[in-house]
Amino acid sequence: MSVATRAPFDSEVVTELRAIIGDDQRVLPNISSRVNRTRVPAPFPVHRWADFVPDVAVLPTTAEEVSEVVKLANRLRIPVVPRAGGTGLADGAVPLRGGIVVDVKLMNQIKEIDLTDRTVTVGTGINMLKLNEELKRYGVIYPDNPASYPCSIVGGRIGTGGWSLLGARYGHTRDLVMSMELVLPTGEIIEVGDGGGRKLRKSSTGFMLKQLFMGHQGTLGIATEATLELVPRPECEFSAFFAFDDYMKAYGTAGAIARSGLATLAGVVLFDEWKVRYLRRDDEAYIEQPADVVSVVAVALYGTRAEVEPASRRVMELGRSEGGRYLGDEISQGDWASRHDRYATPLHGRRRDGQVVPMCWHCEDAALPYSALPKVREEWHALVARYIERYDIFDDWGMFAYTNGAYKPWGDYLVEIDVGIWEQELNDDNWAAWVNLKREIAEVSLAHGGSITACHGATREGDAELVPTELGSAWQVVKAIKRTLDPNNIMNPGKQMLDEAYAEEVRT
């Protein structure tokens, strides 16, 4: 496979960017810097790589530099694509129309640790793992914990409206970011939080703008600084995995634990039959489990020992209440620890004949009511099976359902179906098949009262076209906001169907 790019970017633009940034090492028009900022881990049309290569990447170190870059982009009508860790499972950071990638990784300073008001203020280029290494000495932690924990970055978590593995206990990104400085699509620098306070957790002044700038997939601006919640570092962790001979027993047990009211409950995870089948095939923890292990429930608690110890006994009771069998400390602790870092998983899949081939991981997510999980699971797997039968470049890696609500984990779930895709075989027909499969999966979510994404974002073909359907009567308001804040449609254009905000005026 060869990678080609468009003609070199206008050298005058690069000259202007260098004048703004003031350091040629942070303005990168070279091919490797651009190609490396093209895709994310989500399946990618590698046969059309060149269509997505940005024209230049910049690495600003201040909000003022970002602001001047964005103002330049407005003047010249150049797309701007914010990029943090580039670890997203949708296409938020993928340039759809070239332009300038604003990579925030050098804005990675810890600016203030406030142990009195329990906040930490950081540049948005910092990684949570590195931040928490610094915070450990103070006995506090910033508990935003995605599956990409070692490699994702605060700015990307804000842009995607991230979900945390510990969210039931500590909240998700939108609950943990207290305020932020951001550069609007027109270049103005503003601060948003709860009311006007940078370190307040609740205010009723004005509109709740903070949430508007959370999870917009880089379409409403670039966060440059954030003030984050600090919580006491947990004294104690407890995890327990239970095996079931029937999915519905596991489903019932997951629901019972989620409704238990245990304050230390950080999350409940439900593995379906396809997931266990996949793990039995390719994961050392499950390969030799007996055949009657068909579904698994995982539970994690965090807090003080005085809280976690009695809660763990209640979890053990509930986990066994419908026939669950404890999988032992070794699997429970080892498998839970590995959940913090799923991106280290080597990815291969199987063709229909069982032959191993390298595959890319697609994790299609949705937010779904608890009541819908069994039926959606059947419909999603049937869809994937239909596409596997026809194309033989996909592999069904099963489903997880994670408790979704911050502090209130009982009602709805982040549900993911993992699909392997043999990217080397992608061509226009196979890519179109993949897009159609994505769309059909998302349509099932909507039909069951769900949202087409709980945390990844709906940015690309296959689900973006369903955003207006899901938002319904609110879609007009969304378009009005986008056009007001980004009159020239320069901020990550082409995402989430927001081009509709400009009707015929859309610039391509």
The three-state secondary structure class of 192 is strand
3-state SS, residue 467: helix
* CA 413/CA 425 separation, integer angstroms: 33
Q: Which is closer to another protein, CB of 90 or CB of 285?
A: 285
> Which residue, 124 or 132, has its beta carbon nearer to another protein?
132
Q: Are 234 and 141 in contact (CB under 8 A)?
A: yes
Minimal distance in Å, beta carbon 437 to another protein?
23
Q: How far is the CB of 265 from another protein (least distance, A)?
A: 14
Residue 122 or 501 with smaller CB distance to another protein = 122
The token pair that represents 305 in the structure block? 């020992």
Taking the complex as a whole, the smallest distance from the CB of residue 191 to another protein amounts, in Å, to 31
CA dihedral 91, 479, 158, 206 (to 10 degrees): 180
Nearer to another protein among residue 26 and residue 339 (C-beta): 339
Smallest separation (angstroms) from another protein to the CB of 272: 18
What 3-state DSSP class applies to 469? helix
Closest distance of CB 146 from another protein, Å: 13
Least Cβ distance, residue 281 to another protein (angstroms):
5
Helical H segments across 180-327, by residue range:
209-212, 247-258, 273-282, 305-320
d(CA 121, CA 119) in angstroms, rounded, equals 7
- By the 8 A CB rule, do 424 and 457 touch? no
Cβ proximity to another protein: between 246 and 470 the closer is 246
Write down the residue that tokens 């390969």 correspond to. 287
Residue 308 C-beta: closest distance to another protein, Å: 6
* Cα separation, 231 vs 175, whole angstroms: 12
Q: Which is nearer to another protein, 57 or 293 (CB)?
A: 293
The count of other CB atoms within 10 Å of the CB of residue 133 is 10
Residue with tokens 């957790």: 201
Scanning 321-427, the segments in alpha helix (DSSP H) are: 328-338, 373-391
CB-nearer residue toward another protein: 223 or 243: 243
Three-state SS at 141: strand
If one counts every other C-beta atom within 10 angstroms of the C-beta of residue 395, the result is 21
Task: Kindly state the smallest distance separating residue 347's Cβ from another protein, in Å.
Answer: 12
User: Interface with another protein by CB under 8 A: which residues?
Assistant: 129, 132-133, 136, 141, 145, 233-240, 243, 280-282, 284-285, 287-290, 293, 302, 305, 308-309, 312, 316, 325-334, 337-338, 340-341, 344, 348, 350, 354-358
Contact 414, 454 (CB under 8 A): yes
* Residue 237 or 465 with smaller CB distance to another protein: 237
Spatial distance between the Cα atoms of 101 and 282, rounded to a whole number of angstroms: 37
| DSSP letter string, 165-183 | TTHHHH--HHHHEEEEEEE
- CB nearer to another protein: pick between 345 and 371: 345
Handedness of CA 293, 295, 297, 298 (dihedral sign): positive
Say how far apart CA 426 and CA 322 lie, in whole Å: 44
Q: Which is nearer to another protein, 307 or 470 (CB)?
A: 307
Q: Which of 491, 446, 366, 496 is nearest to 97 (CA)?
A: 491
Q: What is the nearest approach in angstroms of another protein to the Cβ of residue 259? A: 22
Nearer to another protein by Cβ, of 180 and 388: the residue is 388
What is the smallest separation between the CB atom of 64 and another protein, expressed in angstroms? 35
For residue 444, the minimal CB distance to another protein (Å) is 30
Q: At what angle are helices 305-320 and 247-258 packed, to 10 degrees?
A: 150
